[in-house]
Amino acid sequence: AHHTAYALYMWQRPSPAVAELFESGAKRLMDAEGETFFERIDEASLAQHSPAVSEDPALLGTFRRANRALVSHWVTSNLRDPGAEVSPFTGPELEALVRDLVRRGLDLHALEPFRSGQNAAWEAWMATAFELTDDVSELRELLAVSARSIFTYVESTMATTLEMLTRERDELALGTSAERLETLTLILDGEPIDVARAERRLGYALEQPHPHLAAIVWSDDLEAADGALRETATALAAACGAERALSVTATSRSLWSWIPAHREPTAEELEKLLSAHPAVRVAIGSPEPGVSGFRRSHEEAFTAQRLVGRLDSPLRVARYEDLSLVALVSRD
């Protein structure tokens, strides 16, 4: 009985002729048409994002890398074994995206744009299929095998991703970082809080004589290490005359920091502290006092970072005070 059930679910492989067509189509997508193919999928996927993703350059970059890696896995698998069942994608790009979504309190709905990318990939593949053969029977088989391959691959990858999300949430809930993120969310959302309790959870004084200078330290480099971001945040705190900063990992390649600013660093000091890590960038808000200033300075830093991302600017130090007018006039 077990053998019979297994046989019912064995993957039906294409005929040798259609397998050759499959391989030819995969080569075409990865060669001459590759970049156009990926751009179409990116455009379809990214258009469906919620503001929580689309307005955060670091999170958007993580999603774009995962999206491309997911598609590349399907194409390269069919180059190796045309028409065979493709295993779910579980690469480091997807792991990074899952960690970032959980840290930001986002759920599986944030992955729905993958569905739009799937549809764009199917449309592009169909157009390629019609260019590969004029034989009606071969075309019918190619489209049938392709549809089964693409849709089964996306479904299995989504199921695997849900398991990864659940596991990551469980691990996060075990650590004190969950309490810190919960507290920060309440502050940044403007919710009423017990200041003394929030300070104990964060290990940071919200009501103090020095204003809060918020910074977002991030990198567009896939290989950027968390250590480089934290070293930059520590150097920024020193430049502000502070012993330490409150730093929280926002995504795998971005860090949110708050510094009790005894002084504001000069442009030259900021450029110098970034020289040790060429791939790291910083967005900085204005120094503001109290709990409201803690929140407002972060909003300004986030606005500066978002503006740099939206304009695709190479700027490495984005100060809100320098960019506030640009942010205002480019809002619409």
pLDDT in tens, 128-177: 889 899 899 999 999 999 999 988 998 899 888 888 888 777 666 555 56
* pLDDT, average across residues 294-323: 90
* pLDDT grade for 240, boundaries at 50, 70 and 90: very high
Supply 295's token pair: 């929140």
d(CA 227, CA 45): 31
Looking up tokens 């019609």, which residue turns up?
A: 130
Name the helix (H) or strand (E) containing 290: helix 290-310
Q: For 273-286, how does the pLDDT look when each residue is reduced to its tens digit (9 = 90+)?
A: 898 888 899 999 99
More confident residue, 234 or 171: 234
223 — phi, psi (to 5°)? -90, 0
Token code pair at residue 163: 């398991």
Higher pLDDT, 300 or 223: 300
pLDDT band at 332 (very low <50, low <70, confident <90, very high): low
Crossing angle for the helix pair 92-103 and 136-174, to the nearest 10 degrees: 50
Amino acid at 265: P
Distance CA 142, CA 284 (A): 53
Q: Please say if the pLDDT value at position 37 is more than 90.
A: no
Instruction: Answer whether 183's CB lies under 8 Å from 202's CB.
Output: yes
In sequence order, the 6+-apart residues with CB closer than 8 A to the CB of 148 are 12
CA quadruple 69, 70, 75, 81: dihedral, nearest 10: 110
pLDDT > 90 in the chain, percent: 28
pLDDT at 327 over 70: no
With a CB cutoff of 8 Å and minimum separation 6, the contacts of 268 are none
Residues 138 and 17 sit within 8 Å (Cβ to Cβ):
yes
Q: Can you give the pLDDT at residue 282?
A: 95
* Tokens coding 321: 């005070």
Q: Please list, in sequence order, all residues whose beta carbon lies within 8 angstroms of the beta carbon of residue 199, skipping any fewer than 6 positions away.
A: 205, 206, 207
192 pLDDT band, cuts 50/70/90, is: confident
Sign of the CA dihedral with 196 first, then 198, 200, and 204 last: negative
Short-list 185, 189, 257, CA closest to 226 = 257
3-state secondary structure of 36: helix
Pairing state of beta strands 280-284 and 317-319? parallel
Q: Find all residues with CB under 8 Å of 75, minimum gap 6, and list them.
A: 26, 29, 30
pLDDT per position as a tens digit, 254-267: 889 999 999 999 88
CB 198 within 8 A of CB 206: yes
Strand order from edge to edge, sheet including 317-319:
246-251, 254-260, 212-219, 280-284, 317-319
Whether 271 shows a pLDDT value over 60: the answer reads yes
Query: What number of CA atoms fall less than 13 Å from residue 67's CA on the CB side?
Result: 28
**Predicted pLDDT at 71:** 87
Q: Give the integer Cα–Cα distance in Å for 282 and 217.
A: 5
Taking each helix axis from N to C end, the angle separating 320-329 and 290-310, rounded to the nearest 10 degrees, works out to 60
The phi and psi torsions of 216 (rounded to 5 degrees) equal -115, 120
**What is the predicted pLDDT for the residue at 167?**
77
